[in-house]
Structure 1
Amino acid sequence: MSGHKLLLSELKLWTSGRSRWRGRLHAGFSGRGKFFSSYSPKVCIVGSGPAGFYTAQHLIKTRQDVQVDIYERLPVPFGLVRFGVAPDHPEVKNVINTFTQTAKNSRCSFYGNVNVGKDVSVSELQQSYHAVVLSYGAEGNRSIGVPGENLAGVYSAKDFVGWYNGLPSCRELSPDLSCETAVILGQGNVALDVARILLSPVDILQKTDITQPALEALAESLVRRVLIVGRRGPMQVACTVKEVREMVNLPRTKPEMMAADFEGVKEAIKDLPRSRKRLTELMLKTALEMPGEVEQGRRSQASRIWGFRFFRSPVEVLADPDHNRVAGIRLAVNKLEGSGDGARAVLTGEVEDVTCGLVISSIGYKSLPIDPLVPFDSRKAIVPNSIGRVEQATGLYCSGWLKTGPTGVIATTMNNSFDTARTLMEDMDSGALDVSAAKPGSQSISALLEKKGVKAVTFSDWEKIDNVEMSRGEASGKPREKLLTVEEMLQVARK
């Protein structure tokens, strides 16, 4: 049968006995001049960060008939790769090239500026698609849970990172950097990113895609000392050796550690796994060994200081005499019970006060519920699932931090998203997920959004934003200068 006749027969089959779908003759077109059978499995992904794109990539690569639509609340894609990765880590952002290839695949469509849960419900998506994958990440903050955490001068790392990376919702943050000492609670990679940005010479930062307002604020910053506080010890620290090495080598900056924090560590080091051993050796060397002549010379020129403080937990954020803003933090001194990753921090009853004018809480992100009908475990802050299948919700899946909690690096998210994609395809193949009936996909969602006056941003619209940002960056010697408001983004997208 010729392609033309096949097309006609498919359209006849489509309209025959299905009057409710009349007028839907363009359903099988991708918008790029290619026709797909109306019976192709249609999958929608909520969230365009690494989890969303890796899930889409694996589905498209593995099944030649699947069509994937990605919905994103912001007009711009890439989630934490754009808004979470440190500006001085451009190599980590190279995954955007892979995501762009996926977005430009003829079986993939991007719909930005669509707020799922508000503009469209999850059940409306389920009616329009064979499967819905929730990959919207973790945009909530974990509370410190101590008195004084709401004082001016206390910020979450998520918001602070969003501020210097151009997340529209954090644009007004305007942190006060007029103090000498900053305390960061938490010792993961994000905590070290924040410490490094606070202490980096501005001549390094101005060659990155850090936002102009953040660059100007950091140029005027009086912060000269950053303490990175953790409740457990050096052998439980959550960051990687790369991040610590960057702190050790940061120009015009020197480390300041407490030798007492490393008691017994040298003896225990031989039993550690290789990556943990390398990290602990680097910290030991930094804390206890006399540096060589060159390093001594470098440190003598340093005007800024950073250091880990182990075995400490926040008890209270201390206010200034007017009770308006932070003036210090009270830390409980801990001891460890047990060993290795399972060691628990136990209070000793001792406390110490640290004078500081800035407290940044980097104790983890958390996912938030998107829709009352989607199961949600508020204690773990995840959607309860089995290898990505949402419990008691056929056709609903999840990937990324919503599935596992906020753990790991981008490669971890990639593997976890591939697992969800495999689970979904297994369900298609086994019949556990019925893909035999036609679904309207984006056409019915677009009609619904149109009624509500919501205009989606396509991937080619995003490319207009991308071009403007790159041009603006080039003019000031940066890789890009980000647009900082949704309004600006939409204005450029709709030109």
Structure 2
Amino acid sequence: MRHIAIIGSGPAGYYTAEAAQKLWGNEVRVDIVDRLPVPYGLIRTGVAPDHQQIKGVSRRYEATALSDNVRFVGNVTVGRDVTVAELRDEYDAVVLATGAPSDKPLGLPGDDLPGVVGSAAFVGWYNGHPDHADLAPPLRGLGAVVVGAGNVALDVARVLAKTKGEFGGSDIAGHALDRLSVGGFGTITILARRGPHQIAMTPKELGELDHLARAIPVVDPADLPPIEADAALDPGQRKSVGHLRRFATRIGGKPIRLVFDFYASPLRIEGDGRAERVVVERTRLDAHGAVVPTGATYAVPADLVVGCIGYRTPPIDGVPYDAKLGRFANDEGRIAPGLYAVGWARRGPTGTIGTNRPDGFMIIDHVVADLRTDGGKRGRAGLDELLAGRGVEVVTFRDWRRIDQAEVAAARPGSPREKFVSVKALLGARA
């Protein structure tokens, strides 16, 4: 019998468990350990609350979780309740699937001012993540600035722009919905250091901006390359730029302007005791596509600044770490004998949710190649003994289903659930 411990219950963790099942069937036991009492990681607290179709992928993970040889071990923090070294002693393979839940800092003067937050924190706040439920970002003023040119920046801007009614059918946290519905900014500016051809925004997410009730997307026609240059783009990118071209023809008429500010690099954040403005330098691209500063600066009013420039995997004691790349140091997923990384913990925050499936199967292929015996370590019996001796209150998948039922029962009309946003409340909902 092989015993595998997977640290992290998001997409990468469950795809890795699925791969182990498909390979070994009943000859493997997989324990999926998570520090939160709830599974699914990014699906629950990272995907935008108004993108319920994407969240539906959790049904696939539930099928894996309900099988006899996969177990969810929630409310267990690796590094505090049990160490990686101890897990390696008890399991034939340990796979780190912790994702990249920490923000990459903006690294600008003034980024420590109140009103400046990272996207992991802001998205976690409106998604009900226990780590960020008390964030209390400013949601009223002259303007908000979102730094970044990817889909996360679009999610943040869209959530700031929506009315309360537009969140019908979403699972946005109640505390966020209440505050967003009484707040508002006249202008939401998305700062992008490069131009329209370099964005990492997908057509679907850009197209959603067409349907906002109180906000209109704004693009300066002067920022757009000649239309014939679009022919060199791949079809998806060409469609994205097509949305931007359409936005550039729009005329006002709605109370909120969602401004795409291209060729704009933030220099510093200023304010008297809190964020009030972002000083921006105009940029251009050289012949090789590199960003070149022009020296021309201007200020953008910003009571709220959200940095959407990437994420990092937090280090774990005893695990080699690549501080430059913000992920575990690894060679195609191998960290050390019997120790692996998968998903964002392996490659950094790149790719879609589905990218994690081939990643998980690759890691299990490595385990097969490296594990030259049929296993033989204690696995879950050893983990249970360690956790029981330390008085750790473990949450099972059966417990999670009770929490799930309680959240569904507490939902406001039209919403799929009302999330409990503290560990204490989540634990209490198991009864």
Bin the TM-score by the shorter chain: over 0.9
Q: Could you say which residue in structure 2 is the equivalent of 1:440? A: 378
Q: Could you say which residue in structure 2 is the equivalent of 1:12? A: none
Query: TM-score normalised to the size of structure 1?
Result: 0.85
Q: What is the rounded CA distance, in whole Å, between the counterparts of 2:142 and 2:206 in structure 1? A: 22
1:365-386 per-position Cα deviation (integer Å, ceiling 9, x unaligned): 1111112x21111111122223
| Aligned-partner residue type, residue 235 of structure 2 | R
Q: What secondary structure sits across from 2:266 in the alignment? A: strand
CA contact (8 A) 1:394 1:433 kept: no
Q: Could you say which residue in structure 2 is the equivalent of 1:413? A: 356
| Aligned-partner residue type, residue 456 of structure 1 | V
Shift of 1:419: 2.0
1:71-118 per-position Cα deviation (integer Å, ceiling 9, x unaligned): 000000000100001111000001110000000011101100000111
Q: What is the rounded CA distance, in whole Å, between the counterparts of 2:129 and 2:321 in structure 1? A: 26
| Aligned-partner residue type, residue 258 of structure 2 | W
Q: Could you say which residue in structure 1 is the equivalent of 2:292? A: 346
Q: What is the rounded CA distance, in whole Å, between the counterparts of 1:421 and 1:117 in structure 2? A: 24
Q: What secondary structure sits across from 1:223 in the alignment? A: strand
User: Is residue 454 from structure 1 mapped to residue 392 from structure 2 by the alignment?
Assistant: yes
Q: Could you say which residue in structure 1 is the equivalent of 2:418? A: 481
The number of residue pairs the alignment matches comes to 430
Shift of 1:416: 2.0
Q: What secondary structure sits across from 1:487 in the alignment? A: helix
RMSD: 1.4
The structure in which a higher percent of residues are helix is 1
Q: Could you say which residue in structure 1 is the equivalent of 2:190? A: 228
| Aligned-partner residue type, residue 274 of structure 1 | P
The structure in which a higher percent of residues are strand is 2
Q: What is the rounded CA distance, in whole Å, between the counterparts of 1:349 and 1:222 in structure 2? A: 32
Shift of 1:326: 0.8
Q: What is the rounded CA distance, in whole Å, between the counterparts of 1:192 and 1:212 in structure 2? A: 21
| Aligned-partner residue type, residue 239 of structure 2 | R
Q: What is the rounded CA distance, in whole Å, between the counterparts of 1:386 and 1:380 in structure 2? A: 13
Q: Could you say which residue in structure 2 is the equivalent of 1:336? A: 285
Q: What secondary structure sits across from 2:140 in the alignment? A: coil
- What does residue range 263-278 of structure 1 map to in structure 2 within 5 Å? 264-278=225-239
1:320-369 per-position Cα deviation (integer Å, ceiling 9, x unaligned): xxx21111000111111245xxx221111111111121111111111111
| Aligned-partner residue type, residue 269 of structure 1 | D
| Aligned-partner residue type, residue 313 of structure 2 | S
Shift of 1:437: 4.8
Q: What is the rounded CA distance, in whole Å, between the counterparts of 1:357 and 1:187 in structure 2? A: 20
Q: What is the rounded CA distance, in whole Å, between the counterparts of 1:409 and 1:345 in structure 2? A: 26
User: Is residue 110 from structure 1 mapped to residue 55 from structure 2 by the alignment?
Assistant: no
Q: Could you say which residue in structure 1 is the equivalent of 2:176? A: 214
Q: Could you say which residue in structure 1 is the equivalent of 2:12? A: 51
Q: What secondary structure sits across from 2:322 in the alignment? A: coil
Q: Could you say which residue in structure 1 is the equivalent of 2:270? A: 318
| Aligned-partner residue type, residue 310 of structure 1 | F
Equivalent of 1:383 in 328, 331, 337? 328
Shift of 1:190: 0.7
CA contact (8 A) 1:199 1:253 kept: yes
Equivalent of 2:304 in 349, 353, 358? 358
Equivalent of 1:401 in 344, 350, 358? 344
1:377-424 per-position Cα deviation (integer Å, ceiling 9, x unaligned): 11111222233222xx11111111011110121112222222222322
Q: What is the rounded CA distance, in whole Å, between the counterparts of 1:436 and 1:96 in structure 2? A: 31
CA contact (8 A) 2:5 2:31 kept: yes
Q: What secondary structure sits across from 1:402 in the alignment? A: helix
- What does residue range 75-474 of structure 1 map to in structure 2 within 5 Å? 75-262=37-224, 264-287=225-248, 289=249, 300=253, 302-319=254-271, 323-339=272-288, 343-371=289-317, 373-390=318-335, 393-425=336-368, 427=369, 432-473=370-411
> Percent of pairs identical after alignment?
38
CA contact (8 A) 1:227 1:307 kept: yes
Q: What is the rounded CA distance, in whole Å, between the counterparts of 1:435 and 1:251 in structure 2? A: 61
* Larger of the two Rg values belongs to structure: 1
Q: What secondary structure sits across from 1:137 in the alignment? A: coil
Q: What is the rounded CA distance, in whole Å, between the counterparts of 1:235 and 1:417 in structure 2? A: 32
Q: What secondary structure sits across from 1:169 in the alignment? A: coil
Q: What is the rounded CA distance, in whole Å, between the counterparts of 1:347 and 1:419 in structure 2? A: 42
Q: What is the rounded CA distance, in whole Å, between the counterparts of 1:130 and 1:265 in structure 2? A: 57
Q: Which moved more, 1:163-172 or 1:344-353?
A: 344-353
- Unpaired stretches in structure 1, ≥5 consecutive residues: 1-39
Q: Could you say which residue in structure 2 is the equivalent of 1:37? A: none
Q: What is the rounded CA distance, in whole Å, between the counterparts of 1:273 and 1:140 in structure 2? A: 31
CA contact (8 A) 1:199 1:224 kept: no
Q: What is the rounded CA distance, in whole Å, between the counterparts of 1:358 and 1:385 in structure 2? A: 37
Q: Which moved more, 1:379-388 or 1:147-156?
A: 379-388
Q: Could you say which residue in structure 2 is the equivalent of 1:26? A: none
| Aligned-partner residue type, residue 359 of structure 1 | V
Q: What is the rounded CA distance, in whole Å, between the counterparts of 1:329 and 1:252 in structure 2? A: 24
Q: What is the rounded CA distance, in whole Å, between the counterparts of 1:169 and 1:437 in structure 2? A: 37
1:292-327 per-position Cα deviation (integer Å, ceiling 9, x unaligned): xxxx6xx53x222112111111111011xxx21111
Q: What is the rounded CA distance, in whole Å, between the counterparts of 2:8 and 2:373 in structure 1? A: 23
CA contact (8 A) 1:191 1:228 kept: yes
| Aligned-partner residue type, residue 350 of structure 2 | T
Q: What secondary structure sits across from 1:306 in the alignment? A: strand
| Aligned-partner residue type, residue 311 of structure 1 | Y
Given the superposition, is the C-alpha separation of residues 225 and 119 from structure 1 closer, same or farther in structure 2, using an over 3 Å criterion?
same
